[in-house]
């Protein structure tokens, strides 16, 4: 007797719920009104690749053109007008050496780009990627000694890079080397140099992934020997990401980031639940390349598909999203409000 009554009540609850949810789906206005999460153009960061000298070069990958410092202002102006407020700067240096010394050169490509942006635009947040792989001839994210990475020398070098970016005018430095202790080392170096207001966005849960291939092609930063599995996370691990993020927060990270985004939605959700810091997710080059390839082969809209994936990344718990589709996504979001 009892079980059947419970079943009856349950059925009623489900039926009522089903009616209510479908009622709110019947028009776009009601769907927009009742949605649980919303992409916000103010919370999107666009990566940009700045090249030493030469001309603008188009990339075969979405949003990954090389922009020379001289063309930076004309490149950025329409994007800033569109409403993009934050940029993550990557450098393509003129030369590479064993130590990656062009990464902390005061006249290096990132340092000059940051000064240029700072001088030309108000109300723009400048994020810089702090790593060695684009600048070192071996393509690894640290200082290599006798075939393996020297942690201490890597930390010293990363701090030097971060301080040089802060001197140029960066608002947020973003260490991506996955070297243990990088956040506390950089925090200390910034504070010691008078840059206590410069924030750190840490690539906390950075998985070893095949989805970085277009980036490595554009940044010519593929390792010349071995791979990055010795310092980037193993895709089989979930709880380890929580440990990585908690450590980074403890070391002084202001924003923690998960990357790639779409293959790690569970991790985004975990961090959202457990941390009080803003959570960023990086929709990496390979994710964008997959979206483009799928759109091209099926005829669906690339922008609409990008939006679908970004909405799911947002729903998982990422407040801040980094994506190469930033311009087209922001244009779409703006047009939607009209």
Q: For residues 135-164, which are near ligand PBG according to CB under 6 A?
A: 141
CB of 323 to ligand PBG, least distance (A): 9
Among 51, 96, 115, 206, the active-site one is: 206
Alpha-carbon distance 165 to 178, whole Å?
Answer: 19
CB of 100 to ligand PBG, least distance (A): 11
Cβ contacts of residue 23 below 8 Å, gap of 6+? 30
In sequence order, the β-bridge partners of residue 68 are: 51
* Contact with ligand PBG (CB under 6 A) among 79, 109, 131, 200: 131
Residue 212 binding ligand PBG, by CB under 6 A: yes
Stretch that binds ligand PBG, among 31-39, 158-166, 210-218, 325-333 (CB under 6 A): 210-218
The site string for Zn ion over 110-139 (x = CB under 5 A, - otherwise) reads ---------------------x-x------
CB of 179 to Zn ion, least distance (A): 10
Cβ contacts of residue 323 below 8 Å, gap of 6+? 44, 45, 46, 63, 282, 283, 288, 306, 310, 329
State yes or no: is 19 an active-site residue: no
State yes or no: is 96 an active-site residue: no
End-to-end CA distance of the chain: 56
Q: How many residues contact ligand PBG, by CB under 6 A?
A: 11
The site string for ligand PBG over 223-262 (x = CB under 6 A, - otherwise) reads -----x----------------------------------
Task: Name which of 201 and 329 has its Cβ closer to Zn ion.
Answer: 201
Indicate the SS3 state at residue 161: helix
* Contact with ligand PBG (CB under 6 A) among 111, 164, 176, 264: 176
* Contact with ligand PBG (CB under 6 A) among 284, 289, 329, 333: 284
Can you tell me which residue has the tokens 């050496």? 97
Alpha-carbon distance 121 to 177, whole Å?
Answer: 29
- Asked whether 173 and 128 are in contact (CB, 8 A), the reply is yes
User: Is the CA virtual torsion 36, 42, 43, 44 positive or negative?
Assistant: positive
Alpha-carbon distance 50 to 102, whole Å?
Answer: 13
CB of 188 to Zn ion, least distance (A): 21
Task: Name which of 21 and 148 has its Cβ closer to ligand PBG.
Answer: 148
Alpha-carbon distance 287 to 321, whole Å?
Answer: 13
Residue 133 binding ligand PBG, by CB under 6 A: yes
251-279 core/surface letters (b: 16 or more CB in 10 A; e: else): bbbbbbbbbbbbbbbebbbbbbeebebbb
Residue 49 binding ligand PBG, by CB under 6 A: no
Q: Which spans of this chain sit near ligand PBG (rule: CB under 6 A)?
A: 129, 131, 133, 141, 176, 212, 215-216, 228, 284-285
Q: Which residues are catalytic?
A: 206, 259
Q: Which spans of this chain sit near Zn ion (rule: CB under 5 A)?
A: 131, 133, 141
């Amino acid at each position: 007797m009892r079980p059947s009554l419970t079943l009856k009540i349950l059925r009623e609850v489900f039926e009522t719920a089903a009616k209510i949810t479908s009622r709110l789906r019947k028009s776009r206005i009601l769907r927009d009104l009742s949605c649980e999460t919303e992409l916000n153009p103010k919370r999107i960061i666009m990566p940009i690749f700045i090249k030493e000298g030469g001309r603008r070069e188009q990339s075969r990958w979405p949003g990954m053109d090389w922009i020379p410092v001289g063309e930076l202002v004309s490149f950025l102006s329409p994007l800033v007008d569109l409403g993009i407020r934050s940029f993550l700067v990557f450098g393509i240096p003129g030369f590479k050496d064993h130590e990656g010394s062009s990464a902390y050169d005061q006249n290096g490509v990132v340092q000059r780009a940051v000064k240029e942006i700072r001088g030309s635009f108000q109300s723009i947040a400048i994020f810089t990627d702090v790593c060695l792989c684009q600048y070192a001839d071996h393509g690894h994210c640290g200082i290599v000694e006798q075939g393996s990475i020297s942690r201490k020398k890597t930390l010293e070098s990363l701090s030097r890079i971060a301080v040089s970016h802060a001197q140029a005018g960066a608002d947020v430095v973003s260490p991506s080397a996955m070297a243990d202790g990088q956040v506390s080392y950089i925090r200390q170096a910034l504070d010691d140099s008078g840059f206590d207001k410069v924030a750190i966005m840490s690539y906390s849960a950075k998985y070893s992934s095949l989805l970085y291939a277009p980036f490595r092609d554009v940044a010519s930063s593929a390792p010349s020997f071995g791979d990055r599995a010795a310092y980037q996370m193993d895709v089989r691990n979930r709880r380890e990401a929580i440990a990585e993020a908690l450590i980074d927060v403890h070391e002084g990270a202001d924003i923690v980031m998960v990357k790639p985004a779409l293959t790690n939605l569970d991790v985004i959700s975990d961090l959202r639940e457990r941390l009080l810091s803003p959570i960023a997710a990086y929709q990496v080059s390979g994710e964008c390349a997959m979206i483009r390839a799928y759109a091209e082969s099926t005829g669906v809209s690339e922008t609409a598909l990008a939006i679908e994936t970004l909405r799911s990344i947002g729903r998982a718990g990422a407040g801040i999203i980094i994506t190469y589709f930033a311009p087209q996504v922001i244009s779409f979001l703006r047009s939607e409000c009209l």
